Structure 1
Amino acid sequence: MVTAEGRSRRAVFLELMESEGPPESESSEKSIFFSQEEEEEEEVDEEEDEEAREPEETGTVNPLLQPALTGDVEGLQKIFEDPENPHHEQAMQLLLQEDIVGRNLLYAACMAGQSDVIRALAKYGVNLNEKTARGYTLLHCAAAWGRLETLKVLVELGVDIEALNFREERARDVAARYSQTECVEFLNWAEARLELKKYIAKVSATVTDTEKGPGKLFKEDKNTVLNACRVKNEWLETHLEASIKEVFEQKQQLEDIVTPIFTKMATPRQGKSAKSIF
């Protein structure tokens, strides 16, 4: 038999990922990392999820939780780096300890918007693209809770912004579902930049891979394409605040250069007098 306390605690575990929005009270963040040894295995239906209340704060608390939620980066670093700290040897195990839906302490930091904590913990080699049982990543979590600065740090650290959850949603879609407008705008911007980066990489690979390329290419044309790709990469690196419109314009400019050359690559040549680089 599942007790009322058991139902409430389990509902809080599922609240962020399965309800129609983040919990109204962020104090429930701490509850997801209490010891779960006595948790029953029965499913909690959606009605119970919606009616969930804050569980009693009982059980063994993960010693990393408090510094993670309060932004105590120095405290976390002492645990990880001081051999004399009583939790030092279990630091990584404590960091990766999961709740019943597969969320570790990094998710608590995302919920609390502790961007500096995420940045600090990333250097210990954690997988920032790890997914929960239902496919949610840290980016999905930060997007759902409207943690814009945390989203920026995660993107800066190179997380996969195209990762999908069990609903086939990207983080941008989750932000939209929870009406996190600023997060939607930022992720739209990040996706636009990623699209340009991927196009540059694809074009570069096409003209440098003799086996996968669509055809032979004159040296002059190859240099034109590679120079154009280099210029666009440099533009991305030096225009970190460029708008989505500007990013799309850069991509269109590259396409205008590349398309006629690739069309020529795919067109059979007449005669053999012309020399190519291959």
Structure 2
Amino acid sequence: MTELHQAVAAGDCALVDEILKKGQCDPNDKDADWNDRTPLHWAAIKGTSRIVKRLVEHGARPCLRTDAGWTPAHFAAESGKLGVLRTLHSLHAPVDAADLYGDTPKRMAEIYGHKECVKFLETAETECRDYRLAAKLKGTQLDENDEAWELKKEELLRNEPHPQKKPTQKSRVKGA
């Protein structure tokens, strides 16, 4: 875990700002000990919209995924962090991306009973898809793919004993 990961996980906005200003930490660094979480994943977990914005301003990619395919929006939805979901959506983060098991942030909000998040994501998912379509029609390139995770996903699916069988919610590790 880098110094930036630690500062974000602690919710220390002043220290995050200091580290980012130095420019010596990669805001997209994935921590293998924590399921490939980036500092942006931690900001979404903590529910700190200010830190989410600062990280993105300094090059953090909202499309990066954990080893199970979770984006920052999955963590915000699981934790019921509506403010973070709104912030991610305003930054054109993929709030509709499915994880390795096909679950979207909206599904995580449903599972954990965060009704306000579900309601917001119902609209945000449509807006996200519309934004992508408009960008494609304009020829605008969007940063929406985590290439490293796509390779890892292919390997995981190849090595999975029963690729058609989706694990139950109880068999998954919380906070994948």
1:122-201 aligned at under 5 Å gives the runs 122-194=56-128, 201=134
How far apart in 2 are the matches of 1:96 and 1:198?
Answer: 26
How far apart in 1 are the matches of 2:10 and 2:66?
Answer: 23
1:67 maps to which residue? 7
Percent pairwise identity: 26
Aligned alpha-carbon RMSD (Å): 2.8
Larger RCO of the pair (alpha carbons < 8 Å, separation 6+): 2
Question: Does residue 108 in structure 1 map to residue 42 in structure 2?
Answer: yes
How far apart in 2 are the matches of 1:115 and 1:166?
Answer: 26
**Residue 103 of structure 1 aligns to a residue in which SS?**
coil
1:256 maps to which residue? none
How far apart in 2 are the matches of 1:195 and 1:105?
Answer: 25
Q: Which runs of 5+ in 2 are unaligned?
A: 139-176
**Residue 150 of structure 1 aligns to a residue in which SS?**
helix
Which of structure 1's runs of 4+ aligned residues deviate more than 4 A? 195-199
How far apart in 1 are the matches of 2:92 and 2:130?
Answer: 15
How far apart in 2 are the matches of 1:135 and 1:123?
Answer: 23
Q: Which protein has the larger Cα radius of gyration, Structure 1 or Structure 2?
A: 1
**Alignment TM-score, normalising by the size of structure 1:** 0.44
1:196 shift after superposition: 5.3
Asked whether the equivalents of residues 49 and 84 of structure 2 are also in contact (C-alpha less than 8 Å), the reply is yes
Aligned length: 137
Asked whether the equivalents of residues 139 and 154 of structure 1 are also in contact (C-alpha less than 8 Å), the reply is yes
1:96 maps to which residue? 29
**Residue 126 of structure 1 aligns to a residue in which SS?**
coil
Structure 1 residues 126, 148: CA separation in 2 closer, same or farther (over 3 Å shift)?
Answer: same
2:53 maps to which residue? 119
Q: Which runs of 5+ in 1 are unaligned?
A: 1-32, 34-61, 83-87, 209-278
Structure 1 residues 198, 134: CA separation in 2 closer, same or farther (over 3 Å shift)?
Answer: closer
